[in-house]
């Protein structure tokens, strides 16, 4: 029986066991803090048989080809979760090891020079499943399909990460099918912040001529002595205890039932609805359940900052249907206040409050779009503005007073 030990803040929290029948079980450490490592693994037990395995699976890339490339890059013999997460820097606050000792944070990790980073970006463009360099000291795992890499910025120097050395940034180069995505995602993240949603610092950087989107990790914290610590979080697919292949099947109702079950005041539910409204208002048709996360702090739960915010309808070939229907409506341009009210009623939420969230978010998006998109090429900016207007066509936005967007909305209403 193999054992995968899990730590949080260098303290043991539990062990995942690989059983003789291939299933995975989990046991909390007696000294583990009161909070759960996942909403799918409550401290009082009673979780589904597959929950421990699915929690680990959700920390790995979706593609089997990407996992195979990860296995080869680190010199592993297998591509199962126990092997690939052993000693890897992954999302959230958990650290995993097949040994019963915490990974040594003093272990030297390779410096990532600009040319090294540029070479990795170029390689990812040519082979989207190859996210890693061939060095057993470099171990990181990022969920999803899009090629990306983790780096640590410590003392003004870029280094590669592993379990003992947390990353601080995520880089996502665009691929041919979504050319210029790095520019648009950086602008959309800026728009999310301007619209009043929490969003990490993000932008576009070049490494030896190779351009990429880059964002600071919100699941990391810099300590006073310069070290980096991990902050625990999980995406909603992990929270629901389902597999990554089902991320597009999760409905808004499922999310709201999950959040209400952990917070009967529904503060979490309203907080999440703001994020759903933002993605709807910008035309993000890829805002599936893994693109929302909860922060699992000792003080309680909260929704994570925004991430993977992108106007996917910018590309004409992308299916514009939303992963989560709003009151039965599948497309953003169909959605009215009545659809949001229907979603609220179906989940025993305050209809007026939910409608106000949707309309005010739409208004804030339209009010700040010019500022967020100011530095983009004119043709790109114009196309994005058209997509935003289309996405908010029937919501009747509440635009902040005294803005150009308010005047435009009034003129349209007349």
Model confidence pLDDT, tens digit, residues 62-77 = 999 999 999 998 888 8
Cα–Cα distance, 340 to 117 (Å, whole number): 44
Please report whether residue 152 resides in a domain: no
Looking at residue 36, the DSSP 8-state letter turns out to be -
- Report if residue 121 sits inside a domain: no
- What per-residue confidence (pLDDT) applies to 172? 96
Task: Please report how many Cα atoms fall inside a 13 Å half-sphere around the Cα of residue 403, on the Cβ side.
Answer: 17
In a domain, 312, yes or no: yes
Please check whether residue 209 is in contact with residue 118, taking contact to mean a CB–CB distance below 8 angstroms: yes
**pLDDT at res. 413:** 38
| CA angle, residues 143, 145, 150, in degrees to nearest 5 | 50
State how many domains the chain has: 1
Is position 47 within any domain?
Answer: no
Low-confidence ranges of the chain (pLDDT < 70): 402-414
Query: Domain limits at 288?
Result: 233-413
What CATH number has the domain bearing residue 246? 1.10.1070
| R_g (Cα) of the chain, nearest Å | 22
Return the pLDDT at 402. Answer: 65
pLDDT at 240: 97
Is 278 a member of any domain? yes
Per-residue confidence (pLDDT) for residue 411, from 0 to 100: 36
297 vs 294: CA distance, rounded Å: 9
Is 317 a domain residue? yes
- Is residue 161 included in any domain, yes or no? no
> Looking at the domain assignment, is residue 404 inside a domain?
yes
């Amino acid at each position: 029986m193999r054992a995968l030990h899990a730590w949080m803040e260098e303290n043991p929290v539990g062990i995942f066991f690989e059983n003789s029948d291939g299933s995975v079980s989990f046991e909390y450490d007696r000294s583990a803090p009161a909070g759960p490592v996942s909403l799918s693994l409550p401290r009082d037990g009673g979780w589904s048989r597959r929950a421990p395995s699915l929690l680990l699976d959700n920390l790995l890339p979706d593609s089997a080809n990407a996992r195979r490339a990860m296995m080869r890059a680190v010199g592993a013999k297998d591509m199962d979760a126990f092997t690939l997460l052993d000693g890897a820097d992954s999302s959230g606050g958990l650290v995993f090891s097949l040994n019963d000792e915490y990974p040594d944070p003093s272990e030297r990790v390779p410096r990532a020079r600009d040319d090294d980073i540029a070479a990795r970006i170029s390689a990812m463009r040519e082979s989207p499943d190859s996210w890693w360099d061939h060095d057993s000291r470099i171990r990181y795992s990022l969920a999803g399909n899009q090629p990306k890499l983790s780096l640590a910025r410590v003392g003004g120097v870029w280094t590669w990460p592993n379990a003992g050395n947390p990353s601080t940034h995520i880089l996502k180069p665009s691929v041919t099918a979504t050319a210029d995505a790095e520019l648009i995602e950086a602008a959309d993240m800026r728009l999310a912040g301007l619209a009043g949603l929490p969003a990490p610092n993000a932008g576009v950087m070049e490494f030896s001529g190779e351009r990429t989107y880059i964002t600071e990790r919100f699941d990391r914290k810099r300590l006073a002595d310069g070290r980096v610590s991990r902050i625990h979080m999980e995406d909603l697919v992990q929270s629901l205890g389902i597999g990554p292949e089902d991320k597009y099947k999760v409905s808004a109702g499922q999310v709201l039932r999950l959040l209400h079950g952990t917070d009967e005041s529904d503060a979490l539910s309203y907080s999440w609805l703001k994020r759903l409204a933002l993605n709807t208002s910008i035309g993000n048709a890829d805002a599936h359940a893994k693109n929302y996360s909860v922060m699992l702090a000792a003080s309680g739960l909260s929704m994570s900052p925004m991430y993977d915010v992108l106007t996917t309808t910018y590309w004409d070939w992308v299916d514009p249907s939303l992963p989560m229907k709003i009151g039965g409506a599948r497309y953003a341009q169909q959605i009215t206040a009545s659809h949001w009210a229907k979603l609220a009623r179906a989940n025993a939420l305050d209809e007026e409050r939910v409608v106000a969230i949707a309309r005010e978010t739409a208004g804030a998006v339209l009010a700040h779009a010019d500022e967020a998109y100011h530095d983009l090429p004119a043709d790109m900016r114009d196309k994005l503005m058209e997509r935003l207007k289309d996405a908010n066509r029937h919501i009747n936005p509440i635009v902040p007073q005294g803005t150009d967007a308010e005047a435009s909305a009034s003129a349209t209403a007349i």
